[in-house]
Amino acid sequence: FGDLFTSAGVTGSFCVTGEKCRTLLERGRHDVLRALAPHAHGLHTDTHSFHPSTMEMLADCGFEEGCALAYATESRGAKAFEAAFGRSPSFWGGGGNTWSPEITDALKRLNVPAYVYALTSLPDEAVHRFNGVIALPQALSISETDWIDDDLAATAMNRTLTRLEALNQPWVGIFVGHPTRMRYADYWDKAYYAGRTPSAPEFTEPVPDAAYARAKANLRKFLARLAGVVEILPVPSALALPWTFRPPTAAERAYFVEKTSAILRGATGWPIHRPGLDAENIVAKTLALVDTLEVGEIKH
């Protein structure tokens, strides 16, 4: 996918786990690292769906203990990332629906300035800063299975571009899929559903080559259409924009409290998580930091 974006003249933002970095290096897959090199890269947690997930690990502990745990896992991931790419992550992205506010403390210690796929939320998916770290929401997305079907892809492109215009934000995060999910019939991490940890890797069947080629062709069309109406900025370029941050209004603060709490509670339904996972402590720890919330704006 790095080559696809490069040939389309688009700098993408790719999330890579610490485990993937270790695996690529162990297997000598420097060709993959070279293909990704022209793009922006973020740490996609150390091990993504391995148990415990971020939320599983931090659901039942206090904030200070959680900060130590979060730093231990994400510093291990950052070390692997730096070994693979020769630089620090530009951002951090939670694996699936998993997060806890202690991650922001770990990111500050690791000098990672932002997190994407933010489960913290403001109206119209506005960029914000929480506990000193910039939060970039995933405002729009297109399913991997949409790319495989020409009609579904066209509908998804039109819907996304219409919604993009309506949001009227200076920067909007658009998710265009997991490369592995476009190549294979199931997610690689299906074996980890419901708290399960397999004793050995489990494989899934690839989609037909023609379907994979069609998916890549449709994604390329979307990148061209998108580049025709907006400037496509990877995360580091977005962070370099002239942002100012202000305290939220009373209405924005109330929205944050209600919406973020709902998102965090809903995140326990991510199929990877162990059954019965309770998010209430994570909600409480998040709301305890609500006074750190700032709204991002660009004046001109």
CA distance 13 to 7: 15
pLDDT of residue 239: 97
Query: Do the Cβ atoms of 139 and 174 come closer than 8 Å?
Result: yes
pLDDT of residue 200: 83
- CA dihedral over 50, 89, 113, 125, signed as positive or negative: negative
Helices (H), 102-245: 102-109, 144-148, 150-167, 179-183, 209-227, 235-239
Helix (H, G, I), strand (E, B) or coil at 15: strand
Place of tokens 């790319």: 147
- CA dihedral over 126, 239, 241, 12, signed as positive or negative: negative
Per-residue pLDDT of 165-224, as tens digits, reads 999 899 999 999 998 899 999 888 899 999 998 988 788 899 999 999 999 999 999 999
pLDDT at residue 5 greater than cutoff 70: yes
CA distance 127 to 134: 7
CA distance 178 to 169: 25
Per-residue pLDDT of 105-121, as tens digits, reads 999 999 999 999 999 99
DSSP collapsed to 3 states, 170-200:
CCCEEECCCHHHHHECCCHHHHHHHHCCCCC
- Residue 60: which H helix or E strand, with range? none
The pTM for the full model equals 0.95
Calculate what percentage of the chain has a pLDDT beyond 70: 100
Q: What tokens appear for 256 in the block?
A: 């944050």
CB atoms within 10 A of CB 232: 17
pLDDT at residue 300 greater than cutoff 90: no
CA distance 157 to 7: 20
pLDDT at residue 29 greater than cutoff 70: yes
Q: Supply the mean pLDDT for the chain.
A: 95
pLDDT of residue 199: 86
Per-residue pLDDT of 35-73, as tens digits, reads 999 999 999 999 999 999 999 999 999 999 999 999 999
Indicate the pLDDT class of residue 79, thresholds 50, 70 and 90.
Answer: very high
Name the pairing type of β-strands 133-136 and 128-130.
antiparallel
Task: Give the contacts of 196 (CB within 8 A, at least 6 positions apart).
Answer: 51
CA distance 179 to 135: 24
Query: Do the Cβ atoms of 121 and 89 come closer than 8 Å?
Result: no
| DSSP 8-state code for residue 207 | P
